[in-house]
C-alpha cells in the first residue's frame, strides 16, 4: 500500500512539474514578446526622430548653400562657396537616409519624391545664376524664395506625418513599457509559487518517505526476528545480473555470523553435504533454465560440522526494471525430519503391535472356542444322561453353568467381530445402503417377528466402504434398538437420511464445509440418560444389569470402530423412557 501511494505521489509530482514548467514557459514567452514589442516601439520612436532630424538637416544644408552663395554675391569672396559646394553632397546623403527610413511608408515616400524634385529645382536655380550675380538676385527674388517656401512646406508635411506616427508609437511604447514589468513580476511570482508548492510537496513526500522508511525498518526487523523464531531465511537471485542476496538468518543457518562472506552460488553449494551435492547443485543450476525452484530437501554441514536438514523453494518474479529474479526461502527442517523418523519408527512398531494383537485376539478367540465347545458338549451329555441323578442344588448349578457357557460363546463371537473391524486393509467399493438395510432386516427376521418390531427405511445413499462392516453396523444398531425396547410396546425403528454440511452440525468434530451423509436410527425404546451418550460406545460398557438385558457391551463399540474405519462420526442422543437416537455421519468424499 505504501509503495502504491509513493508511486501515485511521484506521478502527481511529475505532472505538477510539467504543468509548472509549461506555465513558466508560457509566461516567459509572453514577457519576452512584450519586451520585443517594447524594443520595436522604441526603435520606431527613434526612427521617427531620425526622419525628422534628417529633414531638418536638409533644410539646414539648403540654407547653408543659400547663405554661402549670398555671401559670395555680396562680398565676391569665393570662400563662401565652400558651404554651397559641400551642401549638395550632404543633402543627397540626408535624402538617402530619409529614403531608407521611410521605405515602408508609402505616404512619406511619395512626399519624399516631391521634396526631391523641389530640391533639384532649387539647386538648378543655383547653377543657372552662378556667374551673373545681378541676374541671380533678380531670379532668386522671382522664383528661389517660392521654391524654398515649397521645400519648407513639404518638410513640414513630412514632419507632421511623422509626428502623428510618433504619437501612436509613443503610446504603444508607453503601453508596452507599463505591461512588461507586470509580466516580468508575474513570471517571478508564478515561479516562486510553484517553487514553494514544489517544496511543500517534496517536503511532504520526504516526511512520508521517512515514515515509510521507519515502518520499513521496523518491518524488516520484525521479518528478521520472525526468521530467527521460525528458523528460516529468505534470498533473492537476480538471473540477469547473476547476483544473490541472503537475509541475515541464511548465514545463521550455516552456523555463521551474518555477511561473513559474499553471497554466491559456489559459496552456497560449499555447505551442502557431499551425498546431496549432485542433486542440490542440479536443482539450483536448473533455476536459470526452469526459472523456478521446486521444493527441495538437502543436508548441509555447518562450520561446527553439525549436519542440518534444509528445505528450499523459489518462485520467479519480474521487477519494474524487467529483470527476472527468483525470490526464495530456506527453512531448517531438521526437527521435523527427526520427528518424522521417530514417528515412522513408532508407527512401524504400532502397526506391528496391532497386527500381533489382532492375531492374538483372533487366535485366542478361536483357542477359547475349543475348550468352551467341550464344556458345552459335556454339559449337554450330563443333562441328557445324568440330570435325574443330580440333586436340586446340582440342577440349579447346572443351569447356571449352561447360561455362563452361552454367555461365554456370545462374548467370544463378539470379540471375533470386534477384531475383524480392525482389518481396514480391505479395498473400499460402492455400497448401496438400501441393500445393506434390507439384508440386515432379513438376518434379524426371527427376532423382528418375535418382538413384533417395525423397521422402516427409504432413500439411503450409495457410499464407498467395506460391505461386511456396513452389514455389521446396521445389524448391531437395529438389534440394539430391539434389545432395549419397552416391555409393553412393540419396537418401532426408523432409519432416515439427509445430506448436511459439517459446519452446520454441532455434533460433528469438523468445522469445514465438507459434506456428510447423515443416517439416523430412531427408536421408541427405553432410552438413556444424556450423560451416558458417550459411555455407551465404550468396549464392555453396559448401562443395565445383565439380568435385565442380555449382552456383552461390545455391539456399539463395534459400530464406533466401523464408522471410524470409514472416516466418519457416530453419536447418540436420548432421554429415559423416550427412546434413543443413533446418528452416523459418513463423508461424501474420502
Digit-coded pLDDT (tens) for 99-153:
787 777 787 778 778 777 777 777 776 655 445 556 555 555 556 677 777 777 7
Q: What is the rounded CA–CA span in Å between residue 196 and residue 198?
A: 5
Q: What is the DSSP code string of 526-584?
A: ----GGGTTGGGSTT--SS-TTTS---S-HHHHHHHHHHHTT-EEEEEE-TTS-EEEEE
Q: How many CB atoms lie within 10 A of CB 180?
A: 20
* pLDDT tens per residue across span 489-504: 899 999 999 999 888 8
State yes or no: pLDDT of 18 exceeds 70.
yes
Return the pLDDT at 569.
92
Range of 83-92, 116-125, 322-331 with top mean pLDDT: 322-331
Return the pLDDT at 130.
46
Q: In the chain, pLDDT over 70 holds for what percent of residues? A: 75
pLDDT band with cut points at 50, 70 and 90 for residue 2? very low
Mean pLDDT of all residues in the chain? 77
Return the pLDDT at 435.
93
State yes or no: pLDDT of 345 exceeds 70.
yes
Q: Cell numbers at residue 369, please?
A: 472356542
Return the pLDDT at 102.
76
Dihedral sign of CA atoms 287, 290, 292, 294 in order: negative
Distances (CA, A) of 494 to 48, 217, 451, 475: 124, 67, 16, 14
Q: What is the pTM of this model?
A: 0.41
The alpha helices in 234-333, defined as continuous H runs, are 248-253, 265-269, 274-285, 287-290
Return the pLDDT at 456.
94
State yes or no: pLDDT of 519 exceeds 90.
yes
Return the pLDDT at 462.
93
Please choose, from the candidates 418, 416, 456, 417, the residue with its C-alpha nearest in 3D space to the C-alpha of residue 437: 456
Per-residue pLDDT, averaged over 316-334, amounts to: 81
pLDDT band with cut points at 50, 70 and 90 for residue 356? low
Q: What is the DSSP code string of 545-559?
A: -TTTS---S-HHHHH
State yes or no: pLDDT of 412 exceeds 50.
yes
Burial of 379 (0-12, 13-18, 19+ CB in 10 A): middle
Higher pLDDT, 346 or 545: 346
Return the pLDDT at 457.
92
Return the pLDDT at 494.
94
State yes or no: pLDDT of 543 exceeds 60.
no
pLDDT band with cut points at 50, 70 and 90 for residue 454? very high
Q: In the chain, pLDDT over 90 holds for what percent of residues? A: 11
Please choose, from the candidates 387, 203, 230, the residue with its C-alpha nearest in 3D space to the C-alpha of residue 311: 230
Higher pLDDT, 144 or 22: 22
Higher pLDDT, 111 or 588: 588
Q: Cell numbers at residue 390, please?
A: 443330580
Per-residue pLDDT, averaged over 546-550, amounts to: 50
| Contact partners, residue 516, CB within 8 Å, separation at least 6 | 499, 500, 501, 502, 505, 508, 510, 568, 569, 585, 586, 587, 588
Q: What is the CA radius of gyration of the chain?
A: 62
Task: Let me know: does 27 contact 186? Beta carbons within 8 Å.
Answer: yes
Higher pLDDT, 16 or 118: 118
Amino acid at each position: 500500500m505504501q509503495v502504491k501511494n509513493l508511486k501515485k505521489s511521484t506521478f502527481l509530482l511529475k505532472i505538477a512539474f510539467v504543468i509548472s514548467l509549461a506555465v513558466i514557459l508560457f509566461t516567459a514567452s509572453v514577457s519576452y514578446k512584450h519586451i520585443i514589442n517594447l524594443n520595436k516601439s522604441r526603435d520606431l520612436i527613434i526612427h521617427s526622430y531620425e526622419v525628422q532630424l534628417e529633414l531638418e538637416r536638409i533644410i539646414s544644408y539648403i540654407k547653408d548653400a543659400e547663405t554661402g552663395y549670398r555671401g559670395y554675391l555680396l562680398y565676391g569672396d569665393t570662400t563662401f562657396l565652400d558651404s554651397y559646394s559641400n551642401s549638395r553632397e550632404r543633402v543627397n546623403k540626408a535624402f538617402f537616409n530619409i529614403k531608407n527610413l521611410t521605405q515602408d511608408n508609402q505616404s512619406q515616400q511619395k512626399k519624399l519624391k516631391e521634396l526631391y524634385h523641389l530640391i533639384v529645382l532649387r539647386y538648378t536655380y543655383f547653377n543657372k545664376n552662378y556667374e551673373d550675380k545681378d541676374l541671380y538676385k533678380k531670379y532668386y527674388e522671382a522664383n528661389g524664395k517660392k521654391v524654398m517656401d515649397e521645400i519648407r512646406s513639404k518638410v513640414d508635411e513630412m514632419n507632421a506625418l511623422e509626428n502623428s506616427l510618433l504619437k501612436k508609437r509613443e503610446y504603444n511604447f508607453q503601453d508596452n513599457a507599463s505591461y512588461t514589468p507586470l509580466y516580468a513580476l508575474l513570471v517571478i511570482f508564478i515561479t516562486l509559487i510553484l517553487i514553494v508548492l514544489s517544496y511543500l510537496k517534496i517536503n511532504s513526500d520526504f516526511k512520508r518517505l521517512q515514515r515509510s522508511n521507519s515502518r520499513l525498518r521496523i518491518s524488516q526487523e520484525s521479518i528478521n526476528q520472525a526468521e530467527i523464531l521460525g528458523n528460516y531465511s529468505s534470498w533473492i537471485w537476480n538471473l540477469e545480473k547473476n547476483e544473490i542476496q541472503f537475509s541475515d538468518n541464511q548465514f545463521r543457518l550455516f552456523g555463521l555470523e551474518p555477511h561473513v562472506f559474499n553471497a554466491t552460488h559456489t559459496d552456497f553449494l560449499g555447505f551442502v553435504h557431499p551425498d546431496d551435492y549432485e542433486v542440490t547443485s542440479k536443482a539450483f543450476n536448473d533455476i536459470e533454465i526452469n526459472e523456478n525452484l521446486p521444493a527441495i530437501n538437502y543436508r548441509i554441514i555447518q562450520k561446527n560440522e553439525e549436519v542440518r536438514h534444509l528445505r528450499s523453494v523459489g518462485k520467479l518474479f519480474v521487477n519494474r526494471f524487467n529483470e527476472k529474479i527468483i525470490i526464495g526461502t530456506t527453512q531448517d527442517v531438521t526437527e521435523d525430519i527427526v520427528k518424522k523418523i521417530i514417528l515412522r519408527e513408532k508407527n512401524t512398531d504400532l502397526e506391528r503391535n496391532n497386527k500381533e494383537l489382532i492375531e492374538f485376539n483372533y487366535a485366542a478367540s478361536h483357542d477359547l472356542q475349543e475348550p468352551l465347545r467341550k464344556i458345552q458338549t459335556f454339559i449337554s451329555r450330563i443333562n441328557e444322561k445324568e440330570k435325574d441323578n443330580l440333586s436340586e442344588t446340582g440342577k440349579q448349578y447346572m443351569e447356571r453353568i449352561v447360561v455362563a457357557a452361552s454367555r461365554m460363546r456370545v462374548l467370544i463371537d463378539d470379540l471375533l467381530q470386534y477384531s475383524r473391524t480392525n482389518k481396514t486393509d480391505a479395498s473400499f467399493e460402492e455400497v448401496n445402503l438400501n441393500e445393506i438395510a434390507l439384508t440386515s432386516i432379513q438376518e434379524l427376521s426371527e427376532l423382528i417377528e418375535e418382538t413384533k418390531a417395525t423397521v422402516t427405511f427409504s432413500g439411503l445413499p450409495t457410499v464407498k466402504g467395506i460391505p461386511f462392516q456396513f452389514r455389521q453396523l446396521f445389524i448391531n444398531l437395529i438389534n440394539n434398538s430391539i434389545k432395549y425396547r419397552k416391555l409393553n410396546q412393540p419396537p418401532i425403528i426408523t432409519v432416515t437420511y439427509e445430506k448436511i454440511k459439517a459446519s452446520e452440525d454441532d455434533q460433528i468434530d469438523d468445522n469445514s464445509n465438507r459434506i456428510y451423509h447423515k443416517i439416523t436410527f430412531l427408536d421408541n425404546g427405553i432410552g438413556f440418560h444424556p450423560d451416558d451418550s458417550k459411555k455407551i460406545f465404550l468396549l464392555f460398557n453396559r448401562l443395565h444389569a445383565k439380568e435385565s438385558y442380555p449382552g456383552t457391551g461390545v455391539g456399539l463399540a463395534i459400530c464406533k470402530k466401523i464408522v471410524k474405519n470409514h472416516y466418519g462420526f457416530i453419536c447418540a442422543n436420548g432421554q429415559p423412557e423416550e427412546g434413543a437416537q443413533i446418528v452416523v455421519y459418513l463423508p461424501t468424499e474420502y
